[in-house]
């Protein structure tokens, strides 16, 4: 397996767990893998980026401009912010959730309109996932990240059993069942 | 078996396998997880110290008495620990002593971008720099060996991208290292002029020997390839170079101080063009040039921020990427919904006072719409700065100046500033934002939380009693959520002479997540007052009315208190 996956979102949305599930997947595949995260100040509701690189041999842990095969965005504006990191023809898997940044909340700026259309102009393929609505149905808002992983896995052509095994390896046992439901739901619509 | 590990986790694993017995640290991004990971090993004593200087002294003590010990800090923590560190270079060690220092190029979570490699040079302490997690583990083990072999503390330097990247690591068993016998030796462990003069000679001799020996260390590695371009690099930048320039010849430095000049000179003679690729200062480049090895470096790459693969390709291959300019609303970090600091900064902004703030989540009080911070310098500085304001500009200034500091930061180095203010007859007003944790670095324990790093019960430092004991004229406690009380107390204490401390108390909203129901809005009059709180859960609708985002709101009720029309109700 070979893929550069950029996970973007808002601090607190669970991008770290998502990257760890993909790390567990690489482990199952026997591939080399590097993950890169940002801790500290950026986690406080700021724009966050997590890098996942899977290949036979990975050098830099960081995905650069025009270097991502896939952008998995937990928030729409963040998807747009990082489109310069997508390779030509790359795939964007985007949660249709909007989280307003402070300049929008204070009225200094407007939240961009038509984001999904803009993404379609810039990507080879855009998959929109109503991950928040699905997580609400499941009854656990924290599963948004795993719904997204399900949709991503389907698009990477990964068998459900394999991504499920990766999930099991990455989450605490007591959280596995609810997350498995989230994974399945994401996989089904991916 | 290979396992994905954070660079920081790998350093902890390396220290564990090397038989480390004592680890002391103060949390600081990007170094914090080293201590958190090592605390999981029962064989290792690990602690949070109140600051890096104390942590360093603990590690020195453990080393002197014969144990392998480690002290961990972020780059600015090295400044705090510099006093014992410079002299520890003179005393040398008994058990191996390793200093983990984490730099933050690009300032992801720091107030400056200093290059810790210069400390290695000025303190005469050797420094290793790993390039991935596997090396992080191995270099940490090597650092303990070198420390004992050369009788010196040894740095392991990381940067954010190494510390917070995960890559595969092969683990090994721990090797127990018995305590070395402690023998009283005034000439080595008691640094006064008569003995330190002799130790300085030993330091220079050791460094000369090491500078010769590093030419034979295999962690300094030459990778000959196409001779038309030779790169000198270290750390995670090595990975960027290998990805960007797979054809280039590379000299990878594992020891970044002292440099292996013999081998570097040899490498330089074999390549047509020599380029140093290093983040931050021209540390290697200037030394190479001073040793007569001509090279390029900072003529191509910035001294600011991080270097990227794209940057290397652009500067050395002329490859440009096609990227679009975007003008999107920025998403800066903000205080979380329910953050107990928010109300205090809202009041400080309302009172139009000058605020000297400090290092922590509450630094975010500088951001719009709160805009309540005037100065931030370093851990503990808020107190001394407010005192300086008064001594220079007089009592009228201190009547409209407030210092703010967090509980952990106050214990780190604010207390000394407070003692100074009392001693020197100041009239400052200090707000201690006590959220019962070390927040920004991810909820570490400290002396006032009642738990240790290993989550064992501990005595609780009484911050109020401490402030009273050092002689503050007034020490009052308020609930951070009680805006009326915060405002009234601030006004009274600003007017009162003497040193005043207001402890604004309320645990971090992320600690106990049993939140009440979210707040609700009905019949909003669109006055916009609630937006002045800068709460991420209060969203401005197209018609100017407020809406509460129920998935973010934690029901703190601050917005109900600022709404003049009673439109917002606590859940």
* CATH number, domain containing residue B563: 3.30.70.20
Strand-pair partners of A56: none
In terms of Cα–Cα distance, which of A158, A156, A142 is closest to A18?
A142
Domain boundary (B216, B233, B265) is at B216
Beta strand B165-170 with B255-257 is unpaired
- Measured distance between the N- and C-terminal CA atoms of chain A, rounded to whole angstroms: 19
What is d(CA B507, CA B511) in angstroms, rounded to the nearest whole number? 7
Helices (H), B291-366: 309-317, 341-351
Are residue B142 and residue B182 in the same domain, yes or no? yes
Q: Which residues of A touch B440 (CB under 8 A)?
A: 40-41, 44
Environment class of B300 (CB within 10 Å of its CB; exposed 0-12, middle 13-18, buried 19+): middle
Mean pLDDT of chain A: 94
Write out the DSSP string of B281-307: S-HHHHHHHHTT---B-TTTS-SSS--
Q: At what angle do helices A15-29 and A144-155 cross, to 10 degrees?
A: 40
Per-residue model confidence (pLDDT) at position A44: 77
CB-nearest to B167 from A61, A103, A122 is A61
CB-nearest to B329 from A10, A83, A104 is A104
Q: Is residue B500 part of a domain?
A: yes
Give the closest-approach CA distance of A109 to chain B in angstroms.
6
Per-residue model confidence (pLDDT) at position A13: 87
Strand-pair partners of B73: B101
- Measured distance between the N- and C-terminal CA atoms of chain B, rounded to whole angstroms: 51
CATH number of the domain within which B262 lies: 3.40.50.920
What is d(CA B518, CA B283) in angstroms, rounded to the nearest whole number? 53
In terms of Cα–Cα distance, which of B395, B380, B388 is closest to B427?
B395
Tokens of B230: 């030779």
Residue B272 has a CB neighbour count (10 Å cut-off) of 10
Residue of A51, A64, A73 to mutate for B, most B C-beta atoms under 10 A: A64
Per-residue model confidence (pLDDT) at position A190: 79
Write out the DSSP string of B343-358: HHHHHHHHHT-EEE--
Q: Per the CB < 8 Å rule, is B165 touching A58?
A: no
Q: Is residue B510 part of a domain?
A: no
Give the contacts of A131 (CB within 8 A, at least 6 positions apart): A74, A95, A96, A97, A144, A147, A148, A151, A186
Under a CB-based contact definition with an 8 Å cutoff, are residues B428 and B390 in contact? yes
Domain boundary (B216, B238, B256) is at B216
Strands (E), B198-283: 221-223, 226-234, 248-253, 255-257, 274-276
User: Chain A within 8 Å of B325 (Cβ-Cβ)?
Assistant: no
Q: Where does A3-189 sit in CATH, by number?
A: 3.40.920.10
Domain ranges for chain A, please list them. 3-189
Residue of B33, B132, B331, B547 to mutate for A, most A C-beta atoms under 10 A: B331
User: Chain B within 8 Å of A114 (Cβ-Cβ)?
Assistant: no
Q: At what angle do helices A160-170 and A15-29 cross, to 10 degrees?
A: 120
CATH number of the domain within which B140 lies: 3.40.50.970
Q: Which of residues 41-70 of A touch B (CB under 8 A)?
A: 41-47, 51, 58-62, 64-67
Q: Per the CB < 8 Å rule, is B336 touching A65?
A: no
Residues of B127-154 as b/e, b for ≥16 C-beta within 10 angstroms?
Answer: bbbbbbbbbbbbbbbbbbebbbebbbbb
- The tens-digit pLDDT sequence of chain B (571 residues) is 799 999 999 999 999 999 999 999 999 999 999 999 999 999 999 999 999 999 999 999 999 999 999 999 999 999 999 999 999 999 999 999 999 999 999 999 999 999 999 999 999 999 999 999 999 999 999 999 999 999 999 999 999 999 999 999 999 999 999 999 999 999 999 999 999 999 999 999 999 999 999 999 999 999 999 999 999 999 999 999 999 999 999 999 999 999 999 999 999 999 999 999 999 999 999 999 999 999 999 999 999 999 999 999 999 999 999 999 999 999 999 999 999 999 999 999 999 999 999 999 999 999 999 999 999 999 999 999 999 999 999 999 999 999 999 999 999 999 999 999 999 999 999 999 999 999 999 999 999 999 999 999 999 999 999 999 999 999 999 999 999 999 999 999 999 999 999 999 999 999 988 999 999 999 999 999 999 999 999 999 889 999 999 888 999 999 999 999 999 998 7
Tokens of B358: 């400090």
CB-nearest to B440 from A41, A58, A83 is A41
Residues of B34-46 as b/e, b for ≥16 C-beta within 10 angstroms?
Answer: bbbbbbebeebbb
What is d(CA B538, CA B554) in angstroms, rounded to the nearest whole number? 11
Q: Which of residues 122-161 of A touch B (CB under 8 A)?
A: 122, 132, 141
Give the contacts of B537 (CB within 8 A, at least 6 positions apart): B337, B518, B519, B548, B549, B552, B553, B554
Residue of A32, A60, A113, A169 to mutate for B, most B C-beta atoms under 10 A: A60
Place of tokens 């914090």: B32
B445 phi-psi bin (left φ>0, alpha ψ -120 to 50, beta other)? beta
Strands (E), B37-153: 45-48, 69-74, 97-103, 127-128
Tokens of B496: 């009162």
Q: Which residues of B touch A105 (CB under 8 A)?
A: 531, 534-536, 538-540
pLDDT bin (cut points 50, 70, 90) of residue A40 is: low
Give the largest Cα separation in chain A, rounded. Answer: 49
Q: How many domains does chain B have?
A: 4
Under a CB-based contact definition with an 8 Å cutoff, are residues A44 and A68 in contact? no
Sheet holding B22-25, edge to edge: B45-48, B22-25, B69-74, B97-103, B154-159, B127-128, B255-257
What is d(CA B83, CA B57) in angstroms, rounded to the nearest whole number? 10
Domain of residue B238 covers 221-317
Residue of A102, A112, A170 to mutate for B, most B C-beta atoms under 10 A: A102
Are residue B301 and residue B409 in the same domain, yes or no? no
Q: Which residues of A touch B109 (CB under 8 A)?
A: 38-42
| CA-based R_g, chain B, Å | 26
Under a CB-based contact definition with an 8 Å cutoff, are residues B283 and B117 in contact? yes
Q: Per the CB < 8 Å rule, is B308 touching A47?
A: no
Are residue B184 and residue B56 in the same domain, yes or no? yes
Q: Which residues of A touch B534 (CB under 8 A)?
A: 102, 105-106
Q: Is residue B330 part of a domain?
A: no
Residue A141 has a CB neighbour count (10 Å cut-off) of 12
Residue of B1, B37, B74, B166 to mutate for A, most A C-beta atoms under 10 A: B166
CB-nearest to A100 from B30, B167, B539 is B539
Task: Please provide residue B164's backbone torsions phi and psi, each rounded to the nearest 5 degrees.
Answer: -110, 20
Give the closest-approach CA distance of B370 to chain A in angstroms.
11
Q: Is residue B46 part of a domain?
A: yes
pLDDT bin (cut points 50, 70, 90) of residue A41 is: low
Q: Per the CB < 8 Å rule, is A60 touching B331?
A: no
Per-residue model confidence (pLDDT) at position B513: 87
Give the closest-approach CA distance of A133 to chain B in angstroms.
12
User: Chain A within 8 Å of B243 (Cβ-Cβ)?
Assistant: yes
Are residue B237 and residue B379 in the same domain, yes or no? no
Strands (E), B410-484: 429-434, 474-479
Domain boundary (B480, B505, B530) is at B505
CB-nearest to B166 from A35, A62, A84 is A35
Place of tokens 């390779």: A87
Q: Is residue B333 part of a domain?
A: no
Under a CB-based contact definition with an 8 Å cutoff, are residues B407 and B434 in contact? yes
Give the contacts of B204 (CB within 8 A, at least 6 positions apart): B124
Q: Which residues of A touch B165 (CB under 8 A)?
A: 34-37, 51, 61-62
Are residue B242 and residue B178 in the same domain, yes or no? no
What is d(CA B156, CA B174) in angstroms, rounded to the nearest whole number? 19
Are residue B210 and residue B247 in the same domain, yes or no? no
Angle at B43 (CA atoms; ends B40, B48), nearest 5 degrees: 55
Q: Which residues of B touch A28 (CB under 8 A)?
A: none
What is d(CA A137, CA B269) in angstroms, rounded to the nearest whole number? 67
User: Chain A within 8 Å of B540 (Cβ-Cβ)?
Assistant: yes
Task: Please provide residue B81's backbone torsions phi and psi, each rounded to the nearest 5 degrees.
Answer: -90, 0
């Amino acid at each position: 397996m070979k893929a550069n996956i950029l996970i973007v979102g808002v601090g607190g949305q669970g991008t770290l767990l998502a990257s760890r599930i993909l790390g567990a997947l690489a482990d199952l595949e026997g591939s080399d893998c590097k993950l890169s995260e940002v801790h500290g100040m950026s986690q406080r509701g700021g724009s966050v980026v997590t890098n996942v690189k899977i290949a036979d041999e990975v050098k830099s842990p960081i995905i650069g401009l025009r270097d991502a095969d896939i952008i998995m965005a937990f928030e729409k504006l963040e998807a747009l912010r990082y489109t310069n990191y997508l390779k030509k023809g790359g795939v964007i898997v985007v949660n249709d959730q909007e989280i307003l940044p402070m300049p929008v909340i204070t009225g200094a700026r407007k939240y961009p309109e038509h984001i999904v259309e803009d993404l379609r102009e810039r990507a080879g393929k855009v998959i929109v996932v109503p991950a928040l609505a699905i997580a609400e149905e499941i009854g656990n808002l924290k599963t948004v990240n795993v719904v997204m992983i399900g949709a991503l896995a389907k698009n990477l052509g990964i068998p459900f059993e394999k991504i499920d095994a990766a999930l099991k390896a990455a989450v605490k046992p007591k959280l596995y069942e609810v997350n498995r439901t989230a994974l399945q739901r994401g996989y089904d619509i991916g | 078996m290979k396992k994905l590990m954070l660079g920081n986790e790998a350093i902890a694993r390396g220290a564990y396998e090397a038989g480390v017995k004592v680890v002391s640290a103060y949390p600081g991004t990007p170094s914090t997880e080293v201590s958190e990971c090592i605390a999981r090993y029962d064989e290792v004593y690990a602690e949070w110290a109140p600051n890096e200087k104390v942590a360093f002294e603990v590690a020195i003590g453990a080393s002197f008495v014969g144990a392998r010990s480690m002290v961990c800090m972020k780059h600015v923590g090295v400044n705090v620990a510099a006093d014992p560190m410079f002299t520890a270079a003179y005393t040398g060690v008994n058990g191996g002593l390793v200093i983990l220092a984490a730099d933050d190029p690009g300032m992801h979570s720091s107030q400056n971008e200093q290059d810790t490699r210069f400390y290695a040079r000025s303190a005469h302490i050797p420094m290793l720099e790993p390039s991935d997690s596997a090396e992080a583990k191995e270099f940490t083990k090597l650092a303990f060996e070198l420390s004992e072999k050369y009788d010196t503390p040894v740095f392991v330097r990381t940067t954010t991208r190494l510390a917070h990247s995960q890559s595969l690591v092969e683990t090994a068993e721990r090797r127990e290292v018995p305590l070395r016998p402690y023998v009283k030796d005034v000439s080595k462990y008691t640094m006064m002029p008569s003995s330190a003069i002799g130790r300085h000679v030993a330091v220079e001799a050791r460094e000369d020997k090491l500078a010769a020996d590093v030419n034979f260390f295999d962690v300094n590695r030459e990778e000959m390839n196409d001779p038309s371009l030779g790169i000198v690099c270290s750390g995670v930048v090595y990975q960027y170079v290998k990805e960007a320039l797979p054809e280039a010849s590379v000299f990878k430095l594992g020891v970044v101080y002292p440099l292996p000049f013999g081998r570097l000179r040899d490498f330089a003679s074999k390549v047509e063009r020599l380029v140093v690729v290093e983040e931050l200062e021209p540390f290697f480049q200037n030394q190479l040039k001073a040793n007569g090895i001509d090279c390029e470096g900072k003529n191509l790459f910035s001294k600011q921020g991080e270097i990227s693969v794209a940057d290397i390709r652009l500067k050395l291959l002329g490859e440009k990427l096609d990227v679009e300019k975007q003008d999107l609303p920025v998403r800066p970090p903000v205080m979380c919904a329910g953050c107990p600091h928010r109300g205090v900064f809202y009041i400080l902004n309302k009172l139009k006072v000058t605020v000297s703030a400090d290092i922590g989540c509450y630094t975010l009080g500088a951001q719009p719409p709160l805009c309540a911070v005037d100065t931030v310098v370093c851990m503990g500085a808020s107190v001394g700065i407010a005192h300086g304001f008064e001594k220079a500009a007089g009592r009228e200034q201190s009547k409209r100046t407030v210092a703010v500091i967090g509980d952990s930061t106050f214990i780190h180095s604010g207390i000394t500033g407070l003692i100074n203010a009392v001693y020197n007859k100041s009239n400052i007003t200090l707000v201690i934002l006590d959220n019962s944790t070390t927040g920004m670095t991810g909820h570490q324990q400290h002396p006032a939380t009642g738990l240790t790093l290993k989550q064992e019960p501990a005595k609780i430092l009484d911050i109020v009693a401490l402030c009273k004991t050092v002689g503050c004229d007034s020490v009052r406690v308020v609930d951070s959520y009680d805006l009326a009380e915060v405002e009234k107390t601030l006004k009274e204490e600003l007017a009162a002479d003497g040193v005043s401390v207001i402890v604004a108390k309320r645990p971090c909203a992320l600690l106990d997540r049993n939140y009440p129901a979210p707040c609700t809005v009905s019949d909003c009059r669109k006055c916009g007052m609630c937006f002045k709180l800068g709460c991420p859960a209060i969203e401005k609708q197209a018609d100017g009315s407020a809406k509460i985002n129920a998935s973010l709101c934690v029901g703190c009720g601050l917005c109900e208190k600022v709404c003049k029309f009673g439109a917002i109700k606590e859940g």
